[in-house]
Amino acid sequence: MQNAIIITQKALDATPKPRLDSVLSVCLQIPRAQALQLIKHQQILLNDTLCTKASAQVALGDVLGVLTPHSQPQTRDYDSLEAITELKPEFLDIEILHQDSEFLVINKPPNIVIHEAPSLKEPTLVDWIKLTQSPIRNLCGDLRYGIVHRLDRQTSGALAIAKTPQAHNALSAQLKSRQMGRYYLALIANPLKKATIVECYLGRHPKNRLKMTKLTRHDARAHTGLRYSKSVFAPLLDCTHSRQSLQLVAVKLFTGRTHQIRAHLESLGRHIIGDTLYGYKGEFGEYRVLLHAYLMYVSHPKGSSILSQEHCLLSRFVKGVNPSCSSLRDHTASKSHCLDSLDSTTSLVAGDSDSIDSPLVFKAPLFADMIAFLERYFDKDKLNEVLSPRYILDCFA
């Protein structure tokens, strides 16, 4: 059991009502939804008595206690990293881009599912976390294990994982306010002529429930879950092969909806190579969806003062994130599977190093399948230029 928490006047003043769930959220610095999970799973004592009523009134001087979580039922049992890599070798390709006591950022390979499901018969990223990141506990009774955002099965790239409830709370808040986000790379058929903004409402496709699609406000009467979405697509490089009409684009999201990039491109009559679900019918249908979360920006849950000196500074700010960047320092670390422009360090800091709110910008190197495709159909020298993090950030600045 966690140390006793004595309710103070400060904690009561920070809540609109002195309810157990609200006060618990303030005292533990976690979202109210997580506080509700703790109460639901019978982990909260109020004055040494188990309390399962979220609306229970809390008074000055009351004592709260948090019990150790009950063991969770497992949908499968993998006892070693070797066990999951034997079933799915892709787990060997997971690279940790950053790790400290609060959170880690990984480069997720394609063809790995994030969360467990009863119908899924293969290991997931959650299984990898259980086996390799022992300090990460099951946060507040759910089975998310610190994951605050997702990538589709076939999508690769940067993914942040919280190690503590406080970090989970901080990262979730940043994600909601868009202080945390990612820049994607995608290979598309039928090039865009210029940078393009897509703003629309997304909802489930009326005829294919696996897809999301662009809908109008009028459709809201017939569809639940209609949500506003916005993306910006910036062309980076056109294919040099005379027989192909391909383009490498960078994508900045202003909202984070399911399949947002794929659905927005479909609304423009474009499709990502390999994305047969959303209508790609070209000759590269055997490829996975060639979409990669290349750059991630996020502020450290405890501020930039704890960061090591090995991080670099970007010369230009990420628009809407931090306008205080001032300098650039580069250093390289050899990665045999990457293009020349990807040989630089995988973690960068954008912003003034003295500012506690300076966001980290992590670079997730491309995987071999996407690199091979780029090298076959695009000019390598130009690729080295456009795949520079600085070049991509400038596209959106």
CB-based contacts of 25, cutoff 8 Å, min separation 6: 15, 31, 32, 34, 35
Work out the angle at residue 237's Cα, subtended by the Cα atoms of residues 236 and 240, and round it to the nearest 5 degrees. 175
Give the integer Cα–Cα distance in Å for 149 and 159: 7
Neighbours of 190 (CB within 10 A): 13
What is the separation of C-alpha 192 from the centre of its chain, rounded to a whole number of angstroms? 26
Neighbours of 50 (CB within 10 A): 12
| 103-108/271-272 β-pairing | unpaired
Task: Indicate if the alpha-carbon torsion angle 104, 390, 271, 229 is positive or negative.
Answer: positive
Catalytic residue among 152, 219, 238, 340: 152
Give the integer Cα–Cα distance in Å for 147 and 316: 29
Question: How large is the C-alpha radius of gyration of the chain?
Answer: 23
Give the integer Cα–Cα distance in Å for 269 and 246: 14
Hey, which residues does 231 pair with through a beta bridge?
A: 198, 253
Is 343 labeled as catalytic in the residue annotation? no
Cite the beta strand spans of 149-226 per DSSP E: 156-162, 181-189, 196-204, 212-215
Q: How far is CA 26 from CA 21, 31, 62, in A?
A: 9, 8, 14
Hey, which residues does 313 pair with through a beta bridge?
A: 349
- 31: tokens are 């979202």
Task: Give the active site residues.
Answer: 152
